[in-house]
Amino acid sequence: MVSGVLVMNTAIVACAMAALWIVVGGVRHEEAVRAGDRAAAVVAEMVRSDLEKSFAEQDLAAARLAIAKAAHAGALAGCRVSLGDGAVVADLDASAVTAKSIPAELPPLTIEPDSRHTFAVDIAGKGKVLLTVEPAGAIARSEWLEYGFGGVCLGAIILLGVVSVRAQKRAMPVTMVQSALNSVHAGEKELAALELADSFGGIATAWNGMVRELATHRARARFESVLTRRAQPGERDEAMGKMVDSLWHGIVAVDEEMRIRYCNGAAAVFLSGTRDGLLGTPLLERIGDPQAREKLEKLANSKGRGKIVVEMRTGEGDGGAVLRISGRPGSGGGGAMLLIEDVTQQRVADRSRNAFVEQATHELRTPLTNVRLYVEALVEKPDADVGTRSQHLNIINQEVRRLERIVGDMLSVSEIEAGTLKLAIHDIRLPALFSDMEAEFAGPARAKNITLRFDLPPKLPTIVGDRDKLVLALTNVVGNAIKYTPEGGTVKVAVRADDSLVIDVADSGIGIAAEDADRIFERFYRAKDPRVEKIVGTGLGLALAREVMRLHGGDVTVQSVPDRGSTFSIRMPLKAPLSMAA
């Protein structure tokens, strides 16, 4: 490909040079001929008298000297004096001389002079000799040849340059291919790295096609080698068996009568049996849920069509699990493959989430209703007495704060979920913080006839932390205490500050069962106590409080006696831990 283009380029340039040569050479030749002719005539005239003299004296040397002088003066290429019989008497080229002397009698001329290059010179009394001059035209031709040659050389150099640049361009893909080949060989790149950009045109297309074909072959070779390796009996079964056994999903193969032909470890656990004990037994005997059993029965009779998915509960109460069984009939030979997954956690999370959405909606709608009712009243009665107006405005204010808190909680939860909850660290004056809280909860406590008491030491230190987040945590814990304490109860907030800040929130509420005590800090978790279910809540408050306190290097813990009350302890170090220093 490269050499073809090169030859073509060379031929084009050579033709152009030849044409130039012919045109220029022709012109120069014509001019030279004319100039040479004129010079020859002048020289013939110059030597005529000298020749007459030397012939008369029969002086050969003088004749030769004469033509040499004339040739020099006329810049002749050649000059010769010959007799009528052809004998050369004198010549610029001494070797061409044949006559050894000038004869006394001159033979008559046999060649008719043309008076252009051959002239007849009359030697008085003796006859005629022939003077032949080779004019400078001949010399011009040789010069022209030199120029021509030079031109050809120059052209050739330019041509070579052009060809070389083009060849280098053409050779670029080749260089790239070479370096890519080296990389592939060294294992640094995949075969795909060898592909050339389309901008390289036809070469790239052809090359890329070849590379792809090579890649296909290589992949096939690899695949075949894997197959060959797998085909090693024993080794393959063992490896596959181990792999399938270690799956946390249950895998069961049944025959056309739904008898278990294979099951892995997880499936044996889900079906409450052992791997070996289950082999050959009917699968449906292991399925307690009648609806699931009915659906699975159809699987055996579906003759290779369709996939079924059933969900069933196993066990009772909290120890129970939700299993999802997906079955697909075997192709051709009857029977079916079943996949058993434990989706208990997913279902719990789904339920929590749905409950959360419902609770959140409720939580938002209740303060919104209050705001709407009291604003409506104010709008309808612009002339209401000052006492009523201020009472309404207070309620609106309180409900807006409540909305703010709920929205704040939700935002914080989403921040915790996204891992973006950050603390804005400032100095916090504790006495002010607690008096704000006391004022905030006075209303709700009074509404339930609850005695709310804050027990603060006479002196409280200034701490460092995120005030808003700490208020959020405390509000949730104190708010919970009021929420879960029946009317007429007491809520006591006791604050200590020695090595660390400890806030104990003790209530005379419904208490928390031991099995719930561990889980109430989980997000969306709400205790199973029927009394709790009637109380609105998002299941987020405590999760949030714990997260916030842990970010401050502290924690929230609980001690509780059912039906007697609970004490939540909020702790945090007085000095900011290193993690908060930023």
> What is the binding site for other proteins (CB under 8 A)?
357-358, 361-362, 365-366, 368-374, 376-377, 395, 399, 447, 531, 534-536
Query: Tell me, what amino acid is at 502?
Result: V
Tokens 């289950």 correspond to what residue?
A: 278
- Copy the structure tokens of residue 439: 């004022």
CB of 351 to other proteins, least distance (A): 16
- Copy the structure tokens of residue 198: 């389309």
Residue (328 or 389) nearer to other proteins, CB: 389
In whole angstroms, give the CA distance from residue 551 to residue 523.
Answer: 16
Residue (250 or 367) nearer to other proteins, CB: 367
CB of 395 to other proteins, least distance (A): 5
Listed residue (113, 66, 127) closest to 91, CA to CA: 66
CB of 491 to other proteins, least distance (A): 17
Element (H, E) at 378: helix 344-380
Residue (358 or 417) nearer to other proteins, CB: 358
CB of 492 to other proteins, least distance (A): 22
Residue (238 or 376) nearer to other proteins, CB: 376
The answer to whether 324 and 310 have CB atoms below 8 angstroms apart is yes
Q: How far is CA 146 from CA 136, 137, 149, 483, in A?
A: 15, 14, 5, 117
The answer to whether 134 and 78 have CB atoms below 8 angstroms apart is yes
In whole angstroms, give the CA distance from residue 47 to residue 43.
Answer: 6
In whole angstroms, give the CA distance from residue 287 to residue 314.
Answer: 9
CB of 512 to other proteins, least distance (A): 16
- Copy the structure tokens of residue 231: 């085909």
CB of 291 to other proteins, least distance (A): 21
Residue (316 or 487) nearer to other proteins, CB: 487
In whole angstroms, give the CA distance from residue 164 to residue 407.
Answer: 76
Residue (246 or 394) nearer to other proteins, CB: 394
- Copy the structure tokens of residue 157: 């150099």
Listed residue (365, 373, 380, 363) closest to 395, CA to CA: 373
Edge-to-edge strand ranges of the sheet holding 321-329: 260-263, 250-254, 336-342, 321-329, 308-314
CB of 331 to other proteins, least distance (A): 44
Residue (121 or 371) nearer to other proteins, CB: 371
Residue (380 or 498) nearer to other proteins, CB: 380
The answer to whether 253 and 279 have CB atoms below 8 angstroms apart is no
CB of 473 to other proteins, least distance (A): 25
- With vertex at residue 125, the alpha carbon angle to CA 121 and CA 128, rounded to the nearest 5 degrees, is 25
Say whether 511 sits in a helix, a strand or coil.
Answer: coil
Residue (363 or 547) nearer to other proteins, CB: 363
Q: How far is CA 289 from CA 315, 323, 339, in A?
A: 11, 11, 17
Residue (313 or 448) nearer to other proteins, CB: 448
Residue (371 or 493) nearer to other proteins, CB: 371
- DSSP string covering 162-191: HHHHHHHHHHHHHHHHHHHHHHHHTTSS-G
* 320-339 b/e (C-beta count within 10 Å ≥ 16 → b): eebbbbebbbbeeeebbbbb
Residue (9 or 366) nearer to other proteins, CB: 366
Residue (357 or 442) nearer to other proteins, CB: 357
Residue (253 or 377) nearer to other proteins, CB: 377
Three-state secondary structure of 562-574:
CCCEEEEEEEEEC
Collect all residues with Cβ–Cβ distance below 8 Å to 325 and sequence separation of at least 6.
Answer: 292, 296, 309, 310, 311, 312, 338, 339, 340, 341
CB of 527 to other proteins, least distance (A): 14
CB of 380 to other proteins, least distance (A): 8
CB of 567 to other proteins, least distance (A): 22
CB of 384 to other proteins, least distance (A): 11
CB of 373 to other proteins, least distance (A): 5
Listed residue (183, 186, 221) closest to 195, CA to CA: 183
Q: What is the dihedral of CA 268, 269, 271, 273, to 10 degrees?
A: 70
Residue (430 or 482) nearer to other proteins, CB: 482
CB of 524 to other proteins, least distance (A): 16
Neighbours of 493 (CB within 10 A): 24
Cα 199 versus chain centre, distance: 22
CB of 434 to other proteins, least distance (A): 25
Give me the phi and psi of 116, to 5 degrees please: -110, -55
